[in-house]
Amino acid sequence: MSLVEFFSSQPSLFHTGVFLAGLALGSFLNVVMYRMPRRMQQEWRRDCCALLNVPPPADLAEPAPGLVFPASRCPQCGHAIPPWENVPVISYLLLRGKCSSCRQPISMRYPLVELLTATLSLLVSLRFGVSAQTIAALLFTWSLIALSGIDLEHQLLPDDITYPLLWLGLLVNIFMLFAGMISALLGAMAGYLVLWIVYHAFRLLTGKEGMGFGDFKLLAALGAWNGVQMLPLMLVTASVIGALVGTTQILTGRQQRSQPIPFGPYLALAGWVALLWGPQITAAYVTWAGR
């Protein structure tokens, strides 16, 4: 019996395994969200020093931490976190949300990201079952979670994630897992071009930059995964959710009108929904509109 046949005959075991894998990947994604922007900042500062031909400051002497090594430490006291204190969600609960060394609070973000990753991973496995689509959609999901977390905190969408996501979308659709190859190519091109046009039109009208280039690349990646036919759904969904959240934050005083709002998380959510249920949503809308 092959592994696929085994998991197909034991769906509950498969879904449980995906959920647990999601918890573990959520823990890693927390590291990515924390370390990748800081690595990027160090690289930019080193490049600036080299361009200006000035010696780098002392804090740039040490190499930036990798995404896997060294082991995680408490950002408050530097306590090295042993494996038994790094079990997703469980360790947070056992430690009562505090560092075992300095007793400073641990951000709720860590267990929330772990639970979110596990939950979305489970939904992917329930949607696509034991298939190549599930493997591809999990990689898609995990990448979008990392991008959303970084964009929310730093208003950055790193090329180190968006470019591989774009190329992977084109690759999986060579085998037409989610869209035809021509549709994927057109989706990538049109996705970038649509927001590029919006960006320049907004800048000409207002003299301000309405979004970053990372949003163009992210929508191109989402177009490569979902195909050109899903671009309207993704744009409308992301715009509506972004407008509702932004308006609510402004009205409640949590956001200033002049303060930029990251658009990446809303694009990511729209792209993820489109990958799992896009055809069903589109068909339902066509049926409703045709009445």
What is the rounded distance in angstroms from the CA atom of residue 96 to the CA atom of residue 111? 12
1: pLDDT strictly greater than 70: no
pTM above the 0.75 mark?
yes
Can you give the residue ranges of every domain in the chain?
1-130, 132-291
- Which tokens in the block code for residue 221? 């990646």
Q: Which residues of 177-205 are buried (b: 16+ CB within 10 A; e: fewer)?
A: bbbeeebbbbbbeebbebbbeebeeeeee
Query: What does the pLDDT look like over 202-226, one tens digit per residue?
Result: 888 877 776 778 999 999 999 999 9
Task: Give the list of residues 6+ apart from residue 92 with CB closer than 8 angstroms, or none.
Answer: 106, 110, 111
Phi, psi of 84 (to 5 degrees): -70, -15
37: pLDDT strictly greater than 80: yes
Query: Which residues share a beta bridge with 73?
Result: 80
- Which tokens in the block code for residue 38? 């800081």
Query: Which residues share a beta bridge with 105?
Result: 98
CB 99 within 8 A of CB 79: yes
What is the rounded distance in angstroms from the CA atom of residue 22 to the CA atom of residue 110? 13
